[in-house]
Amino acid sequence: MLQMLKGIKAKNHLESIKYFLRYLLQEKRVDAVLVPKRHPNGRSVSHALITDPLNTEGSDPLAPVQTVNAACILKELTKEPTDKKIAVVLRPCEVRAAIELIKIKQVSDENLYMIGYDCPGVYDAKEYMNIIEKEEDREKFTLKYIEAFLSDKKEEIRESCSYCMYFTADSADINMAWIGLNSSDLVIGVNTEKGKKLINDLETEEISDSSRRKEKIGMISTGRKQIQKDRIDNFLDLIQPCIRCYNCREVCPLCYCKECLLEPEKMGYSSVRYMNRAIKKKQIKMPDDTVLYHLTKINHMGYSCVSCGICEQACPMDIPLGMIYNVFSRKIQALFDYVPGRSRDEELPVTTFREEELSEVEDIQQPRGK
């Protein structure tokens, strides 16, 4: 159920978020907030862990750029138990990644309050930095971008956002909503008990009519569904430029292994072996095993892939990794009717099983005892 926070009448979406974060810090609801913040002269934003309410000024969580998937930062922040409470402002894909990480105990949500919001999508980071350099008022640019998204004007967003189907953060503790709602209020949805605690003495008013919001969300979803690809026919051609730089693994929130089996020293061969392989196969590509690398990666994290597209942004060779991983992972997830980050109670497909299922695996059908 959506609720309107009554006390907050800010000028715009950005102000209302800042107000809310300041409130959380001032009232000691949390000890710190993690939020993307703009450096006065910087071209991009970077996450900041803020403890002083005054420092929330300049934070810009809505800036249309995703430099890192913030779930990676949460891994760092919660690897040891602390008693400090942290509120984090996350994009929906980051919320979903964080929930996947909570399931595999890489993030502890004990003292974590996730605040999500309706995400308008982002630019490619490099493109964003080029655009923003020419902008006088950088905060205004963010607001213009959100306005354009809310009034259905087409904005240039990066490809992996253009077919994102999960642009509302329904699984966060609190999600801020603005699609299809009156823009002057701060409307939030409280999804967990923890979220309730966070705002329990704020005056709220329930919003009874959210049909326009539902309609709008439906509209965007149908539009995006059409862009989404269901097949890749030339996977081997697409992946060919890969130089195995491991960027996509480093930035991926779900590649959580401390020790990766794709490390060069584990995956590589001795010099003699390389020669022998080259002789046997007449030629080998170097750096080798690039296809194997991606296929193993997708087999290892595909069931959890949230399609944030950060791998595509990190790829120096401009391989459309976001699209590839999206198509592959959706196929895997559909097998188990699993949506990563949908709910904390759903178990990962590979850590659970049902006794009666998937009989098609054994397709060599033979009656027993024949």
Which of 296, 339, 342, 346 lies at the binding interface for other proteins (CB under 8 A)?
296
299 binds other proteins (CB under 8 A): yes
Region from 58-66, 106-114, 133-141, 229-237 binding other proteins, contact rule CB under 8 A: 229-237
Q: Which is nearer to other proteins, 113 or 328 (by Cβ)?
A: 328
Q: How many CB atoms lie within 10 A of CB 204?
A: 16
Q: Find, among 350, 272, 364, 302, the residue nearest to 103 by Cα.
A: 350
User: 88 - beta bridge partners?
Assistant: 34, 114
- 325 is a contact residue toward other proteins (CB under 8 A): no
228 binds other proteins (CB under 8 A): no
Piece of 105-113, 201-209, 222-230, 332-340 that binds other proteins (CB under 8 A): 332-340
Asked whether the beta carbons of 368 and 359 are under 8 A apart, the reply is no
Determine, following the binding rule CB under 8 A, whether residue 260 of this chain makes contact with other proteins. Answer: no
- Residue 328 CB, shortest distance to other proteins, in Å, is 6
Q: How far apart are CA 150 and CA 153, in angstroms?
A: 8
Find the binder of other proteins among 121, 302, 309, 322 (CB under 8 A): 302
Candidate residues 2, 10, 295, 339; the one interacting with other proteins per rule CB under 8 A = 295
Q: Which stretch binds other proteins (CB under 8 A): 41-49, 82-90, 172-180, 362-370?
A: 362-370
**CA separation (Å) from 24 to 20, 65, 125, 355?**
6, 25, 30, 47
**Are 347 and 133 in contact, with CB atoms under 8 Å apart?**
no
Q: How do 32-38 and 45-50 pair as beta strands? A: antiparallel
Binding residues for other proteins, how many (CB under 8 A)?
Answer: 36
| Candidate residues 285, 317, 344, 347; the one interacting with other proteins per rule CB under 8 A | 285
Q: Is 360 in the site for other proteins (CB under 8 A)?
A: yes
DSSP one-letter code for 63:
S
Interface pick for other proteins out of 137, 265, 270, 369 (rule CB under 8 A): 369
Q: 203-206 contacts: CB < 8 A, separation 24 or more?
A: 203/5, 203/6, 203/7, 204/3, 204/4, 204/5, 204/6, 205/3, 205/4, 205/6, 206/1, 206/2, 206/3, 206/4
Amino acid at 78: T
Among 141, 235, 246, 274, interactor with other proteins by CB under 8 A:
235
Query: And the tokens for 233?
Result: 């026919």
> Which window, 58-66, 170-178, 230-238, 249-257, contacts other proteins (CB under 8 A)?
230-238
Binding window for other proteins (CB under 8 A); candidates: 10-18, 152-160, 208-216, 283-291: 283-291
Are 276 and 229 within 8 A, CB to CB?
A: no
The answer to whether residue 23 forms part of the interface with other proteins (CB under 8 A) is no
Q: Is 265 in the site for other proteins (CB under 8 A)?
A: no
269 binds other proteins (CB under 8 A): no
Contacting residue, 49, 232, 260, 339, with other proteins by CB under 8 A:
232
What is the C-alpha separation between 99 and 219, in angstroms, rounded? 27
Residue 252 Ramachandran class (φ > 0 left, ψ -120 to 50 alpha, else beta): beta
Among 1, 54, 261, 272, binds other proteins (CB under 8 A): 261
The answer to whether the peptide bond before residue 287 is cis (omega within 30 degrees of 0) is: yes
* Positions in the binding site for other proteins (CB under 8 A): 232, 235-236, 261, 281, 285, 289, 291-292, 295-296, 298-299, 302-303, 327-328, 331-332, 335-336, 349-350, 353, 355, 357-358, 360-364, 366, 368-370
